[in-house]
Structure 1
């Protein structure tokens, strides 16, 4: 298999795995994504969330409105631009995100245990640093 074929197979396989694992979620994917961005990147504006998600400002604003109504995020005036709001993850939002992540990990962990033998699990574990390096390299581009 050449590098292009390997790259395409990896892209397809990881994409399918991610989409499958997300079926364990109990909240809409957009909401989980916003909570994840706030957890990893700290406070963000709605415009920054829209940009990171690759969606319209209107779409991001609807998701933010829903998260505010559920008290999973809170808004405060932006310190540098009073026309903007800075969104923060609340304790309830952090707990809900942790619950979603735990559910995903439990579901995936059960599948790993059911499908892979001990040697295959070690191979998968050995591949994790490689995948992490690829991700880090691509993120920097």
Structure 2
């Protein structure tokens, strides 16, 4: 890790705390209370990245493969994913989200976007500009 100035360390600490508080508040805007945040994250990954094997999902979600196997089984029992044979490797399966999952994700995004837009309505034009400029940087951090 590079040597950070005191000012940079303060900024990192402030960013961490703000992102955590905002994330916690966004989680409260859930559409389906029966889905855990982890289950929603897996559905979101399937939406963003397309069908995946449980191993690929485990890597993307930073969980152990046995945990992902349990998550996929729960999502399948709820009718939110389908497990299909892998097209090249019959020893594996591919997990695909269902239309029901897509509808839940869309409504969740709509609700969370509306909530966040309402909050952001309190920002000044300069703050909005800063937020628009920061969004790609925050996205990059989230993907690293």
TM-score by length of 1: 0.83
In structure 1, what is the Cα distance between the partners aligned to 2:115 and 2:143?
30
Match of 2:125 in 1: 122
* Distance (whole Å) between structure 1 residues aligned to residue 118 and residue 132 of structure 2: 22
Structure 2 runs not aligned, ≥5 long: 1-5
Q: Which of 40, 46, 63 is equivalent to 1:32?
A: 40
Match of 2:8 in 1: 3
Shift of 1:41: 0.4
> Equivalents in 2 of 1:48, 1:123: separation in Å?
41
* Runs of 4+ deviating beyond 6 Å: none
Q: How does 1:1-141 map to 2 (within 5 A)?
A: 2-25=7-30, 26=33, 27-113=35-121, 116=122, 120-135=123-138, 137-138=140-141
Conserved 8 A contact 2:39-2:71: yes
Figure out how many residues of one structure are paired with residues of the other and give that number: 136
Q: Per-residue displacement from partner, 1:41-85 (whole Å, max 9, x unpaired)?
A: 011111111111111212211111111112211121112221111
Give unmatched runs, 5+ long, in structure 1: none
CA–CA distance in structure 2, aligned partners of residues 140 and 90 of structure 1: 25
- Tell me whether 128-137 or 79-88 shows the greater mean CA deviation: 128-137
Q: Which has more helix, going by share of residues?
A: 1
The 2-side partners of 1:107 and 1:138 are apart by 23
